[in-house]
Structure 1
Amino acid sequence: MSLNLPDIDPIIVHLGPVAIRWYALAYVAGIVAGWLYISSLIKKEALWAPRAAPVAPLQLDDLILWVTLGVILGGRIGYVLAYDTSIIWKDPLQILQIWQGGMSFHGGFTGVVVATILYCRAQKFDLPRMLNLGDLLACAAPIGLFFGRIANFINGELWGRTTDVPWGIIFCNKYIEKQYGGDCPAGLYPRHPSQLYEALGEGLLMFILLWLLANLYKQFKRPGLIMGAFITGYGLIRILLENVRNPDAQMTSFQIITMGMILSVPMVLAGGYLIWNALRQTPVTPEPVETTKLDG
């Protein structure tokens, strides 16, 4: 018993020669929703007292542009270098065709880190302020991951390994057959819907965890802690789910270790260091209000 991939066209609508795809819409939705969420966080003074949020609303608008460029450039370059270097000499112009898919989270993450550091240097932010900015971006990152993985599922890409679980999905429909000349690359075997697993783990679960750290436990007072929790959590979830995700074509000789695992190990180590460093620092707390005792 298995399920078939729904017949959802990867292209939402054609506007003349321009095709609007779910994949592109997922990036737009993730960036806009993340922007709005960060904007709401910086307006909650209680989360930051006695300091102010690391950026003002106008500064956030500028930062989003830097981050967007980091996501797109880093994601595409990371995909080409880690997963499909043949594009470089077979069809270099395909590197620019990001609307066709082929983006790497690890590359996009690196692009965001570089863009954020450059932005902070331009604004002359000190280290705690820079780390708090990373905390803010980490809070919003699961939103984009969730939408991105749903788009991967609609595209019928990044499918899982073959399975006999009741919710196994055959990643083949009329749109995939049309794209590949009547064939379905994933075959007609039920596979783990690893994209949905990642949407729930990297997206929903991580969003809830970081929401609790930011809003309930108010951990912006420990710069870098929330960012460290995201980096570590993503790395661990990705390593775990790579066991049910189909191995990358470049790693078929080493199916136990995938490229996703290799790239996630440094994230776990870096995130662990950020958490350790944040916990050993004295948290920033509001100064006590002096009171005057009246004689009665």
Structure 2
Amino acid sequence: MNALPILGAGGWGTALAVGAARNGKDVTLWARRPELVAELQQKRVNADYLPGVTLPDSIRLTSNLEEAVRGADFALIVVPSVGVPPLLEQLPRALGVVLCAKGLAPDGGQLSVLARQIGFARVAVLSGPNLASEIGRGLPAATVVASTDQALALAVQSALMSPALRVYTSSDEVGVELGGVLKNVMALAAGLVDGLELGDNAKAALITRGLREMRRYLLALGAQEDTVYGLSGLGDLFATATSPLSRNRAAGEAIARGQHPSHGGQVVEGLRTAGLLDAWATAHGHDLPIVRAVARVASGEWTLDAGIASLMERDAKAEEYG
């Protein structure tokens, strides 16, 4: 059985490692910090990122990247988006890479495109409504792995599929990757609605129009329309916009209440993504009003009242479905 390296010991990386190990896979979990590896080896619990979930004894732990990927066909890259480019630079180009971060490259482009520019021929993306604490506890869930390399997608499916996690495959890398990216901004917006106590009507309208905005963005980048309504689009949007476990939703709620938008020291991808997407929309003439409002409120450029007004005072129009 081939080794399964999982590079990144945050909540999501740890949850994936635990689930795969429980299913009998040969898992190595890599963390950048040796002190975290030492703590995990001693306590077998990732108290900072996935509390209450015991790491199976079969999971090997290391901070040595070369050791982590030795003999592997592919690796799951489960670090925050800002950490993906430097990590990719250190990996052998023959390795298949499965990108699990729901964020953008430094230039606002796709991480999968950047990976190929760096020299990786075998690239996949993993996304879906996957709240780490639920995956770690073994609750039922589903995810989707997308790649133009069908053999790689099937290999990832085989490695991660379990009685608790259904893994679907897709060839739509663009849609799967960017759906996971944009839903973080919509979850921030949902958190703002919750923090301001604007009500369920407002939140339902936001999620509905947010899905429409996601569709507009994904199709502009070449995604397949069906993907918008799949696990990495509507599914992930629903989970992260409504769940108290969503760090992006919690960050939006904190901003609305005048608090710092931290989430237990974990990266809130939507905060960085909102600014990058707003800049992209402005540069390319695309109308992404929710993205614009979130980006400018989060940056302090707009007040909360100005952000709400930007959405509620738009010109009257017919609702469009197609």
TM-score normalised over the length of structure 1: 0.26
Q: Which structure has more helix as a fraction of its residues?
A: 1
Higher relative contact order (CA 8 A, sep 6+): 1
TM-score normalised over the length of structure 2: 0.24
